[in-house]
Structures are given as C-alpha cells and as structure tokens.
Amino acid sequence: MSDIGTETKASEAKREGAFAKFLRETEVDTRLLGMLAALALIWIGFHYYGLFVNGFGAFLTPRNLWNLSVQTSSIGIMATGMVLVIITRHIDLSVGSMLGFIAIIMGTVQVNILPQYLGLGHPMIWIIAIFAGLLMGTLLGAFQGWMIAYGTIPAFIVTLGGLLVWRGAGFLVARGETISPVDATFKLLGGGPFGAIGNTGSWIVGILGCIAVLALIILGRRKRKTFGLPLRPVWAETFLAAIGAGAVIGTTLLMNAYPWPKGIIKKYAAAEGIEVPPEGIFISHGFAIPVLILIGVTIAMTILMTRTKFGRYVYAIGGNPEAAELAGINTRWMTVKIFALMGFLTGIASVVASARLGSATAALGTLDELYVIAAAVIGGTSLAGGVGTIYGAILGALVMQSLQTGMVLIGFDAAIQQVVVGSVLVIAVFLDILYRRNSK
Amino acid sequence: MSDTPLVQLKDISISFGGIKAVDHVSLDLHAGEVVGLLGHNGAGKSTLIKILAGAYKKDSGEIWINGKQAEINSPRDARDHNIETIYQTLALADNLDAASNLFLGRELTSPMGFVDDAKMAAETAKIMARLNPNFKKLKEPVSALSGGQRQSVAIARAVYFNAKILIMDEPTAALGVHETEMVADLIKELKDQGLGIFLISHDTREMMDLCDRVSVMKNGQMVGTERVEDVTEDDILSMIIMGKNPKAAA
C-alpha cells in the first residue's frame, strides 16, 4: 500500500516537474491557463447541462458562440479601459450610465437633427453621429478625471455621482422616449447578418491574424538575440506559433460555420434576383463588425499598455504613486487622460450597443458598470493597483457573458442569474487572492 | 576641488502649516566632495534635500548650480541639472521590474516611439554587472528583491544617468552589513569620479568615515558645518543633541 502511495507521489512530482518546465520554457502565464480552463469548464458545463437536463445542448453551437462574441463586444471594449482605471487605484461606476447618455446623444444627432439638414440616409450622418458620441465620451470622461485629479474628490464619489447624473440626463434629453430607427450604416456596427464580413472577409482577417502571430514570435526572438537576452527553445516558439495560429484559424472556421437564417436569405435572394435552390444557400456570417471593433480595441490597448510610455506610467502610478511623481511623471494629468480614454471607449461601446439594438434608449447600459468592473477584476486586475492586463479583461468579459448567456440557454430565470453572477465574482476574486498569496 | 561650488543653497526656507521645517538654511557642496547631513528625526534634513531634488517647492531662498542660479520646481527640473536622488523610501514602483524602474520617466524608445524593453533590459544588465554582480533577478518585479538589491536598482538609476550631484537619503538604512559596505565603497568610487554627494544618515561613525564635511541641523535650523578631521564624534553628537556648535561656543 505504502509503496504504491509513494510511487504515485513520485510520478506525480515528476509530471509536475515536466509541466512546470513546459510553463517556464514557453513563458506562458499560469493565470492565463487558469482562465482559459475556467472558460472551457463553463462552456462544456452549460452545453452538457442543457444536453442532459433539457435534451439539447445549445451552448457549443456556431450560432450561440457567434452571438456570444457579439454580446461580449460592448462590455469587452469598456473593460479594456477599466483595467487602466483600476490599475491606478481608481474606479469608474459611471460607464453604464454614460453609455446610455452617449447613445441618446448619438440617436438624437442621427435621427432628430442631421436628417433635417442633410436629408435622410445621407452618407455623412453615421460618421458625424459617431464622431459626436466619441467626442462626448472623451469630454465627459476627462471632466470626471479632472474632478478626481485636480479637485481631489475620490473617484468612487465622482463616478457614483456620474452614475446618477448621466442616466438622468439621458432621460431628460430623450424625454423618456426611445429614439429609432438609427441610420442604416450605423446599424451595421452592431452586428447581425449584414453587419458581419462574410466568408472571404473572415478568411482575410484570419490569415492576417496568423501572419501577425508569426511576425510577433519571429521579431521577438530576433530582438532578444540582438541584446543577448535568453531565448525560448525552438520547440517552445514553434508550439506557441502553432497554438496561436490554430486559435485564429479555429475562430475563423467557427464564425464562418454560422449561416444566415432562411428568412434573411430569402429576402436577400429576392433583392439580388437569385434563385434559392430547394436545399437552401449557405451564406456565412463570418466575423461580426462589433467583434472586429473589439479586436481592434484590444490590439490598440495592448500596444498602449505594453509598448508606450503612457502604459508604463499607468503601471508605475498603480505600483507606487509617490515614486511615479518623483520620477517626474505628472500623475494628475495622467489621471485625466486615463478617465478621458475610459470615456472614449465607453463611446465606442455605446456605438456598438445602440447599433445592435437599432435604437437608443436612456436605459441602455443599465448595470453595465458592474459587468465591466467584474470583467476586469475576474481578468486579474488587482483592486490594490499596479496589476492587470488587457487580454485578462477580455477573457473576464467572455466569462461574465458566457455565464449570462449560458443561464439563459438552460432556462434559469433572471433571479437565479443574478445570484450566480454575483457569487462567481466574489469567488473569482477570492481565488485570485489565494493565487497571489501562494505565488509570493 | 574647484572654487565654484557645485551646489549652493542660499537662505532656504519652507514651512508646512506654520511649522518652519527648514529655517533660513545655507549649505554648499563641491565636486568630488561628500557632505553629510545629520540631525534628529524632523530636524529638516530630508526636507532640505527634497527641495534640491524638486519634490518640494521652497518658500524663499536661492539654489545655485555651478555658479548659476537655478529654478527647480519639479523632479524633472532637478534631473535636468543632473541631480539624482536616492530616497529613504527607495521610490521604486514595486510592481515593475528593475529595468522599468531604472528608466522610469526616461524610457529608451525605438525610432517608432515605442518603449524598447529589450534594450533597457540589456542596459540594466550591463550596469548591474558593474554595481552588484550578484544581481540576477532582472525580469522579476522589484517587490521580489532583497533590500540590498532594491537599493542597487535605485543607485543604478543615479549612476546610469550620469549624475553630477547625488543625494542619498539614508541609503543604508534597510541594508545588511555586507550590503552597507558595498554602498560605502560605491560612494567612495563616485566621489573619486568627481560627483558631489549629499549623504543623510543617523550613523555618526559611518558619516565620519565617508564624509568630507558634516552639517548638523536641529529644528529646521543649521547648527553648524565642520570638516570631519576638525571634530570628534562626540562633538558631532553634542551638536545633534544640544543644537549648539561647541567650537563656536569655545
């Protein structure tokens, strides 16, 4: 008995050693692996729960995963900004209300104001509306940041005020009405069959993605060589390249596997004068435009945080505000810029959310601030400051949205959803605290 | 030693809420000289040098660098005058690695304007090999480093950017015996290279060993400045405690 026991232990230690070696040589973040595992568990769990309890598994289908990608966009875009806010030891409770307010402003501009002067359906309408929304978001964010940095009012209070003020302002501007319909081009930014780039477009994106993965790995290796820094073994580089490219191609295949619904195809065929054969036509959705926006924002924010002085200063301020100040960083002005950026991203999220809805209501984005903060925190952003990543926040947003969608699919009602989402947030943060304690 | 002092602090005053933290203090520093600042906690030593480092704004008085009057209103201004400071609290961002801390506020960038981490890491490795050959944890956040290793990061920052004037606020307070010796050797080496160094410490013996002159402060005022060979350790102690210069009284 005891012999067997020690033997298993020994082999376990050996296996552990191999795994640790693997992690060290590939330089893969264990946190990232943990989050991916949690996500996989959620997805498989919901699918098989549906399969066994309700008789059908609806989660792991192209249709659901495509929808999940679109639903994650708005929260994900805002979560990338919330990472910066939380890293610098602040919080922004106003993003949900601000999203609603900006949606109302953009709705008013494109439905009530511009058509009078430019005529309905003018090609400049959606551009001006979006510009107005992004500008509004940036200004509101900067204003809040200015009160926090120069007025020295705690961010919690300023943005708690903002939570009420922007929501109320939205209702006032819209006089409680729903503003619709939004401009036709604007609507494409929210997804849907026409708001996706189709089979060919998606493959172009996918191939560009693969090239980017390879380029990153090759350039990174060359740079390390130039400065004589330790290199990853070749097998690890190859493995990472294969995983990266595989993930990109897999996602592309998945997005292309979801066809347009029959009704849309019938309409489209009638408009284009195509005969629909009895077995139907398979037209792929491909990547939805909001997902491409999210990908673009993620790449831009990752570059900002890891490759620019701005990003370095965000981390420095979070780690030790006094040291940052003594190093000559203007921490107050940085705070204004960080909140302005948060507002700008809220503007983008507002475009996506109101385009997806096809209208603007003052209630749009209600409770989004909590999902955004939860996404950032589940993604490993520390409320104590100084720690957090953009990709973590995106994964966090995906986890939150997967929970939400999954519970809808298996028929949990709204009350249970709230209980589960709230509990998951607390448990996730607790696990994070344990993880950090052990890794110290 | 040239005739023009490297630094002249003339009649500096600053008060916080009615308390005169530094009260009409004058002090100078020459190239290749170490001047020690001694005094009880709250005597105004750290406040005085923080004014020179740009962390505080003086209420009145003048700062002259190389015989020219200088305006120092921010840490950046101080750096522009080649003044580097090693703070008591170390002033490191714990969550960043050694290279990011060393270059904080002065990052090396690629032609595209992006921070060049690989180059900064390589430069850090180079200077660390000189200052502290045992330093290996280049990629870890500085929170994972020992007190001595953290101190060498702070010192490397000053050395790398060719400081002419170095301010060290209790550089050995958090260090072990061996590490303290290393810092002492480094101070001597930097002095030989012609830097002017302000050193703050509570350790009178260490100060007698390292400094050319020592200044004693009490309650924001300058008690006196003496060449170390002209005074005994007891003289210094009585200056610190009594707030009177025994030689002036004699």
pLDDT of amino acid B229: 86
Of the candidates A285, A79, A300, which has an alpha carbon nearest to the alpha carbon of residue A188? Answer: A285
Q: What is the pLDDT of residue A160?
A: 97
- Whether A38 has a pLDDT exceeding 60, the answer reads yes
CB contact under 8 A, B96 and A312: yes
Question: What secondary structure letter does DSSP report for B229?
Answer: G
| Model pLDDT, residue A25 | 77
Q: Could you tell me the pLDDT band of residue A338, with boundaries at 50, 70 and 90?
A: very high
Which residues of chain A are within 8 Å of residue B104 when distances are taken between CB atoms?
A: 312, 316, 323-324, 327, 329
Mean of all residue pLDDT scores within chain A: 90
Q: Chain A: which residues have CB within 8 Å of chain B?
A: 223-224, 226-229, 303, 307-309, 311-312, 315-316, 318-320, 322-329, 386-387
Q: Are A213 and A250 in contact (CB under 8 A)?
A: no
Task: Examine residue B155 and state whether it is found in any structural domain, yes or no.
Answer: no
Give a yes or no: residue B131 inside a domain. no
CA A218, CA A370: separation in Å to the nearest integer?
Answer: 39
pLDDT band at A1 (very low <50, low <70, confident <90, very high): very low
Whether residue B168 is contained in a domain is answered as yes
At residue B97, the 3 state secondary structure works out as: strand
Confidence class of residue A163 from pLDDT cuts 50, 70 and 90?
Answer: very high
Identify the pLDDT of residue A14: 52
Least confident interval from A78-82, A337-341, B139-143: B139-143
- DSSP letter at A189 equals T
In angstroms, the separation between the Cα of residue A69 and the nearest Cα of chain B is 31
| B118 vs A contacts (CB less than 8 Å) | 223-224, 226-227, 229
Whether residue A10 is predicted with pLDDT greater than 70 in this model: the reply is no
* B85 neighbourhood in chain A, CB within 8 Å: 326
Give chain B's end-to-end CA distance (angstroms, integer). 30
CB neighbour class for A126 (10 Å; exposed up to 12, middle 13-18, buried from 19): buried
> Is a pLDDT exceeding 70 seen at residue A157?
yes
Torsion of CA A405, A410, A411, A414, to 10 degrees: -40
For A224, which residue in chain B has the nearest alpha carbon?
A: B118
Residues 6+ apart with CB under 8 A from A320: A386, B91, B92, B93, B94, B95
Q: Please check whether residue B151 lies inside any domain of the structure.
A: no
What lies within 8 Å, CB to CB, of A355 at 6+ separation is A182, A186, A187, A188, A189, A190, A191, A195, A290
Burial of B176-197, coded b for 16+ CB within 10 Å and e otherwise, reads: eeebbebbeebbeebbeeebbb
Provide the pLDDT confidence category of residue A190 given band limits of 50, 70 and 90.
very high
Instruction: Compute the Cα dihedral for A393, A398, A404, A406 and give only its sign.
Output: negative
Q: What is the CATH number of the domain that holds B177?
A: 3.40.50.300
Q: What is the mean pLDDT of residues A48-62?
A: 90
C-alpha span between B46 and B167 (Å, rounded)? 10
- Contact state of A227 with B118 under an 8 Å Cβ cutoff: yes
**Residues pairing with A155 in the sheet:** none
Domain count, chain B: 1
Q: Is residue B229 part of a domain?
A: yes
Strand partners, B16: B19
Asked, for residue B135, whether it belongs to a domain, the answer is: no
**Chain A environment of B109 (Cβ under 8 Å):** 309
* Most distant pair of Cα atoms in chain B: their distance: 66
In a domain, B232, yes or no: yes
The helix (run of H) or strand (run of E) holding residue A136 is helix A125-149
Tell whether the model's pLDDT for residue A6 goes beyond 70. no
Encode pLDDT of A99-120 as tens digits.
Answer: 999 999 999 999 999 988 988 8
Q: How confident is the model at residue A73 (pLDDT cuts 50, 70, 90)?
A: very high
Please answer yes or no on whether B107 and A312 come within 8 Å at the CB atom.
Answer: yes
CA A274 to chain centre: 38
Rounded distance between C-alpha atoms, residue B233 and residue B211, angstroms? 13
The residue in chain A having the minimum alpha-carbon distance to the alpha carbon of residue B89 is A323
Task: Kindly tell me if the per-residue pLDDT of A135 is higher than 60.
Answer: yes
Q: In the structure, what pLDDT confidence band is assigned to residue A5 with cuts at 50, 70 and 90? A: very low
In a domain, B171, yes or no: yes
Backbone angles phi, psi at B71, to 5 degrees: -100, 115
Q: Which of A24, A304, A309 to mutate to test the interface with B (most CBs of B within 10 A)?
A: A309
Strands B7-16 and B19-29: antiparallel
For residues A221-227, average pLDDT: 85
DSSP letter for A61, please. S
pLDDT category at A4 given cuts 50, 70, 90 is: very low
User: Residue B246: what pLDDT?
Assistant: 67
Distance CA B128, CA B160 (A): 10
The Cα of A428 is separated from the nearest Cα of chain B by a number of Å equal to 22
Is B124 in the A-facing interface, judged by CB distances under 8 Å?
no
**Among the partner residues B79, B87, B121, nearest to A328 by beta-carbon distance:** B79
Residue type at A32? Answer: L
* Weakly modelled stretches of chain B, pLDDT under 70: 1-2, 88-90, 246-250
Hey, are the CB atoms on B95 and A318 less than 8 Å from each other? yes
Confidence (pLDDT) at B184: 87
Helix A289-307 vs helix A309-319: crossing angle, to nearest 10: 70
Q: Between A228, A323, A328, which is nearest B74 by CB?
A: A328
Residue A337 tokens, joined: 């810029």
Span A336-359, mean pLDDT? 97
Contacts of B236 (CB under 8 A, 6+ apart): B38, B204, B207, B208, B214, B216, B226
Question: By residue range, what is the domain housing residue B175?
Answer: 7-90+164-249
A200 class by beta-carbon count within 10 Å (0-12 exposed, 13-18 middle, 19+ buried) = exposed
The pLDDT score that the predictor gives to residue A21 is: 80
Kindly tell me if the per-residue pLDDT of A438 is higher than 80.
no
- Beta-carbon separation of A315 and B93 below 8 A: yes
Q: What does the pLDDT read at residue A9?
A: 45
Q: How far apart are CA A314 and CA A335, in angstroms?
A: 9
The pLDDT value recorded for residue A335 is: 97
Pick the residue with more confidence: A130 or A29?
A130
Which among A229, A325, A386 has CB closest to B118?
A229
Q: What is the ipTM of this complex?
A: 0.85
Contact status, residue B15 vs residue B40, Cβ threshold 8 Å? no
pTM of the model as a whole: 0.89
CB atoms B92 and A226 under 8 Å: no
Chain B residues inside the 8 Å CB shell of A325: 55, 75
